[in-house]
């Protein structure tokens, strides 16, 4: 009969054997291999879902929109590229055409309009539908950022940011939605922001527009479930683009500077690939941020008092740095 102490010794030896590098490393590499394989299979499924799909990208002239155009074009999507700058859009279409593989990609269409001008959106939607006759995926990407204090910001600036970031995408979505409902097929994507879930100091107009975006498209998702229309809200953190450079300030002028956080953000190409993957997987709500911003979302919900103190401290530090 084996004594209890002997059994403990044998168990300890087996645990130590399992914990040895010669055992753990193959298991670890095996898990990583499986993860990589699953990701590859998902990427293949995403490409199959989006190949030959009609994809509309707003704000396609630069930054994330431009990179999304490249990723979706490479996957074989039929693109309709939208923006204000027709020369930039035509330059992008030439670039995409030059990178095309024989028989695998399609020549993009270009539709020029300004989300800040409500009177142009209905006509733009009609022009978009004329390109291919329908829309499979609408990516509401275009937007403007903002920097300023609430007390100094003109209400007209709040309205401008809300018009571009919220009312414009809502109007375009509503204009294209009936054709999707009629076909019982479609996918609407809203590029929001981590600031659509938490507010930070000196970003009031931007954060308000993104909070509204989150709420609207969450409602749309629920209402469109029976019509088989998918809705994805994507909330990135900082992306290394010219978003802060082109941001509006309290008096409506251009900010004209690349923020430190923006400069240290993820590349637009990397985020565009994440957008592609999220659309391919038909995800509903995607947070593309580092650990700390993600935790801030949970702190705001579970410990709001702590979150408010952190934000107040951040505001004090920003004011101090600007005055020094």
The residues annotated as belonging to the active site are 206
Return the SS3 of 146: strand
**CB-based contacts of 219: which residues, under 8 Å, 6+ apart?**
none
> Which run of H or of E encompasses 224?
none
The upper half-sphere exposure of residue 53, i.e. CA atoms within 13 Å in the direction of its Cβ, equals 25
Q: DSSP secondary structure string, 40-58?
A: HHHHHHHHHHHTT-EEEES
**CB-based contacts of 321: which residues, under 8 Å, 6+ apart?**
none
User: Side by side, which strands form the sheet with 54-57?
Assistant: 109-112, 78-83, 54-57, 137-140, 186-191, 229-236, 285-288
CA–CA separation, 201 and 231 (whole Å):
29
Pair 48, 71: CB distance under 8 Å: no
Return the SS3 of 76: coil
Pair 305, 312: CB distance under 8 Å: no
Residues across the chain: 324
CA–CA separation, 322 and 311 (whole Å):
17
Rounded-to-10 torsion of CA 93, 183, 140, 225: -150
CA–CA separation, 98 and 95 (whole Å):
5
**In DSSP terms, which residues pair with 235 in a beta bridge?**
287
Query: Which among 88, 86, 172 has a CA at the least distance from the CA of 128?
Result: 172
């Amino acid at each position: 009969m084996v004594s209890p102490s002997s059994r403990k010794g044998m168990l300890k030896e087996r645990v130590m054997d399992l914990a040895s590098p010669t055992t753990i490393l193959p298991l670890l590499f095996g898990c990583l291999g499986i993860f990589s394989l699953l990701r590859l299979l998902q990427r293949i499924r995403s490409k199959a879902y989006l190949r030959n799909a009609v994809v509309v990208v707003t704000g396609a002239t630069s930054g994330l929109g431009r990179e999304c155009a490249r990723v979706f074009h490479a996957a074989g999507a039929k693109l309709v590229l939208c923006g204000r700058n027709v020369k930039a859009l035509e330059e992008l279409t030439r670039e995409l055409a030059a990178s095309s593989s024989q028989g695998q990609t399609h020549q993009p269409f270009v539709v020029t309009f300004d989300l800040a001008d409500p009177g142009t959106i209905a006509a733009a939607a009609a022009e978009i539908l004329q390109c291919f006759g329908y829309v499979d995926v609408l990516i509401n990407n275009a937007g403007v950022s903002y920097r300023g204090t609430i007390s100094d910001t003109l209400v007209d600036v709040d309205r401008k940011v809300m018009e571009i970031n919220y009312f414009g995408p809502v109007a375009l979505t509503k204009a294209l939605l009936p054709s999707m409902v009629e076909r019982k097929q479609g996918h609407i994507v809203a590029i929001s922001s981590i600031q659509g879930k938490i507010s930070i100091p000196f970003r009031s107009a931007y954060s308000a527009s993104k909070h509204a975006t989150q709420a609207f498209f969450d409602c749309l998702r629920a209402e469109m479930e029976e019509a088989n229309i998918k809705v994805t809200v994507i909330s990135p953190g900082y992306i290394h683009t010219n978003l802060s450079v082109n941001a509006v300030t309290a008096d409506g002028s251009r900010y004209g500077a690349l923020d430190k956080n923006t400069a240290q953000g993820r590349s637009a190409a990397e985020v565009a690939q994440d957008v592609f993957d999220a659309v391919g997987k038909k995800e509903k709500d995607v947070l593309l941020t580092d650990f700390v911003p993600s935790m801030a979302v949970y702190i705001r919900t579970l410990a709001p008092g702590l979150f408010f103190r952190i934000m107040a401290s951040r505001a004090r530090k920003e004011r101090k740095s600007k005055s020094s």
